[in-house]
Structure 1
Amino acid sequence: MMTQFTDVSEFQNAFIAAAGQDAASRQGASQRNAQLTKPPGALGRLEDLAIWYAGWRGTDRPRIAAPQVIVFAGNHGVAAQGVSAFPPEVTVQMVANFRAGGAAINQLAKLFGAQISVHALDLDRPTEDFTTAPAMDKAELLAALQVGWDAVDPASDVLITGEMGIGNTTPAAAMCCALWGGDIAGWVGRGTGVDDAGLARKLDAVTKGLALHQGRDPMEVLRCLGGREIAAMTGAIARARLLRIPVILDGFICCAAASVLAKLLPTGLDHCVAGHVSAETAHPALLHHLGQEPLLSLGLRLGEGSGAALALGVLQGAIACHSGMATFAEAGVAAG
């Protein structure tokens, strides 16, 4: 049955209580890998990916048959501070584009056989401007987490979460600074391509938001500085762990959402792999904090789940080799 949370603490406790990998399946996958018709380590990181995936899926010879892409969309009150190169109306327009199949993520999901769904969260009602008030109240945060939680298909075997929300690199930067510390300017990048004046407004907004909302725990950081689509991604990534569905993380905003879970539980992102490192200034540092090594580095900064969707092809290649290759005994090849 679907869990309906009545309080944010219930969500947090459910996530923390989730089980980890199946050790026997991981060990079996490792043993199988050692017997495949190749020199040890010849497939490099693909071997590690396959073993990691097998441990979460509970089988030493897994398949990928039902990847899922979920795109969450939200609008942000802080966009009124002039922090984006595009107006908030673009969020609504892009949601229509996703649903019509015309965006980049639609093409990539189709290419790699992933089902895609789009969830727009109260686009006519932006979050509060976090420079003057918390972005969400507790009920709004809980509702967004629930949307993400409910959006995960239990029958899926890989999850990718993408986002659309004009201005959302600003809350992501604020969240990352609040969660990980460091120089504020180091977390603030150009996002959709703001000019120097826009970058200065963005830095000012993040600085004001951090000053107003100091000393918050991870869920409060999400509530006060985040956004509905960011919280929905947090909810979806958490649910995937309970279902033992491996997650491919997308760019800076997705990783900001995942950071909340990493702060709640040190092993909270063990079911995740970073799909790529984006062109957003702070993404490499964020991946370092998360202990994640990206699969791809292509200079992407689109969001939508696009970089993670490309990395799905890498994971599919790893699983195809691991589960489809013959062992030395099966092929009649001398192991040396």
Structure 2
Amino acid sequence: MTKPLFPITKLSDLHGLAEALPAADATAADAARARQASLTKPPGSLGRLEELAEFMAMWQGTDRPKIDTAQALVFAGNHGICAQGVNPYPQEVTAQMVANFEAGGAAINQLCRANGAELSVIALNLENPTADFTQAPAMSEAECLEALNKGAAAVDQSADILLLGEMGIGNSTVAAALTSALFGGDVAGWVGPGTGSDADGQTRKCRAIDAGLARHADAIGDAPAILAALGGREQAAICGAVLAARAAGIPVILDGFICTAAAAALFATDPRLLDHCLVGHASAEPGHRLLLEKLNKRPVLEFDMRLGEGSGAAVALGIIRSALACHNGMATFGEAGVSEG
């Protein structure tokens, strides 16, 4: 009997997971491409809309991909690194924003409503922030696995697409720490204003990340260990949701810098683990463009957004719906009685 993929019981198990997960359906992609060539338009004239339809086909395993159910998950967590003065807002704001999400008053609520996504917000032990990673690992392996498996369990196995986002005061510092550890380079290149840090605040972020990288140098080269040492519960939950979606054959839209940085821990483990993921938008956070280059991902949108919450993923969902409306609804040349020339 094949061992079930979830719950994941050891972080080291992530290293071999790609082999056990479904791959893209090349036959469905070829059939979708052939349909695009037969539609009443010049070849390639819908640009990336055609590419997005083919992407959805290869991961849903059908030449006529659809989105009846779009699930949006926003994971929220608090971070011990805030003790280093890396954020201008108190951590109480995380719980306050979760309440706002639940009351329907945030941007993500409006964008999910406008683009047809069912939103769930999952708070992850907000009353107990992770440890300050300048002093200790942010999470033990057990804590990281608990959050990862909660993320996996939140995925609706019947969804046609999954949108992922996050909320957590201090998590732009966590994202910069993760990307610095995973990909190297100048720490300052990964650091941005986040929720509004000024130059002094960004300097504090850099100092905190440098200290964290030095303390956890033995984790460098082991992406799951980096996730536990420097990440947060919402980052681990995002990774779990990405993996559960892949196991269920559900394509994923990642949000901006923080969400993509969380998923980058999977990419650094094995790049194939993010093959089923789109990036919804290019965040205005400076580290995101650098990260997109590392991941070789082209965002669906570039709207200068940097809100988080899954907001960019929700807007991108509307574009993907448009791509599928054309793919499935347009007539072929034969059906329309139009000469192909």
Bucket of the pairwise TM-score, normalised by the shorter protein:
over 0.9
Q: Which residue of 2 aligns with 1:235?
A: 240
The residue identity in structure 1 corresponding to 2:90 is P
Runs of 4+ in 1 over 3 A off after TM superposition: 9-16
**1:76-87 matched pairs, under 5 angstroms:** 76-87=79-90
The 3 A distance-change label for structure 1 pair 133 and 16 is farther
Once the 2 structures are TM-superposed, how far is the Cα of residue 273 of structure 1 from its aligned partner? Answer: 1.2
1:155-196 per-residue CA deviation (whole Å, 9 max, x = no partner) reads: 111111110000101111011011011111111111111112
1:310 and 2:296 correspond = no
TM-score normalized with structure 1 length: 0.97
Q: Distance in 1 between matches of 2:100 and 2:81?
A: 24
Q: Name 1:38's counterpart in structure 2.
A: 41
- State whether structure 2 residue 299 is matched by structure 1 residue 294: yes
1:148 aligns with 2:151: yes
Q: Distance in 2 between matches of 1:100 and 1:154?
A: 26
Q: Of residues 297, 306, 329 in structure 2, which corresponds to 1:324?
A: 329
How far apart are residue 10 of structure 1 and its match?
A: 3.8
- 2:278 is the alignment partner of 1:273: yes
Q: Do the aligned residues in 2 keep the contact of 1:16 with 1:264 (CA within 8 Å)?
A: no
Q: Deviations over 1:11-65 (max 9, x none)?
A: 5544542021111111111111110000001000110110111011011011111
Q: How does 1:6-21 map to 2 (within 5 A)?
A: 6-21=9-24
- Paired residues in the alignment total 336
Distance apart, 1:115 and its partner CA: 0.6
Provide the rounded CA distance (Å) in 2 between the counterparts of 1:50 and 1:115. Answer: 21
In structure 1, what residue type is equivalent to 2:41? K
Write the deviation string for residues 132-173 of structure 1: whole angstroms up to 9, x where unpaired. 100000110000000110011011111111100001011110
Residues in 1 aligned to 2:257 and 2:149: alpha-carbon distance in whole angstroms: 22
Say yes or no: does 1:190 pair with 2:201.
no
Indicate the residue corresponding to 2:205 in structure 1. Answer: 202
Give unmatched runs, 5+ long, in structure 1: none
For the Cα contact (< 8 Å) 1:15–1:241, is it kept in 2?
A: no
Equivalent positions of 1:132-143 (< 5 A) are: 132-143=135-146
Q: Is the 8 A contact 1:16 1:265 kept in 2?
A: no
Cα distance in 2 between the residues matched to 1:268 and 1:184: 25
Tell me the SS of whatever aligns to 2:185. Answer: coil
Equivalent-residue separation in structure 2 for 1:284 and 1:323 (angstroms): 33
The match for 1:52 is 55
SS at match of 2:170: coil
Unaligned regions of 5+ residues in structure 2, if any? none
Give the equivalent residue in structure 2 for 1:168: 171
Amino acid at match of 2:69: A
Confirm or deny: 8 A CA contact 2:167 2:308 kept in the other structure.
yes
Paired amino acid for 1:266: P
**Aligned residue type for 2:49:** L
Question: How big is the alpha-carbon RMSD for the aligned residues of Structure 1 and Structure 2?
Answer: 1.2
Instruction: Tell me which residue corresponds to 2:8.
Output: 5
TM-superposed CA distance for 1:72, in Å, is 0.2
- Identify which range, 304-313 or 19-28, moves more after superposition: 19-28
1:123 corresponding residue in structure 2: 126
What is the percent sequence identity of the aligned residues?
56
What SS does the aligned partner of 2:122 have?
strand
Give the match's secondary structure for 1:118: strand
Q: Cα distance, 1:3 vs. partner?
A: 2.7
Structure 2 partner of 1:211 = 214
How far did residue 100 of structure 1 move? 0.9
Separation in structure 1 between the aligned mates of residue 272 and residue 21 of structure 2, nearest angstrom: 11
Q: Give 3-state SS (helix, strand or coil) of 2:273's partner.
A: coil
Code of the aligned partner of 2:330: M
Amino acid at match of 2:299: P
Mapped to 1, the partners of 2:159 and 2:5 lie a distance apart of: 16
SS in 1 for 2:50: helix
Secondary structure in 1 aligned to 2:318? Answer: helix
The separation in 2 between residues aligned to 1:44 and 1:173, in whole angstroms, is 33
SS in 2 for 1:267: helix
Asked if 1 retains the 8 angstrom alpha-carbon contact of 2:18 and 2:272, the reply is no
Aligned pairs for 1:91-102 (under 5 A) are 91-102=94-105
The normalised TM-score by structure 2 is: 0.96
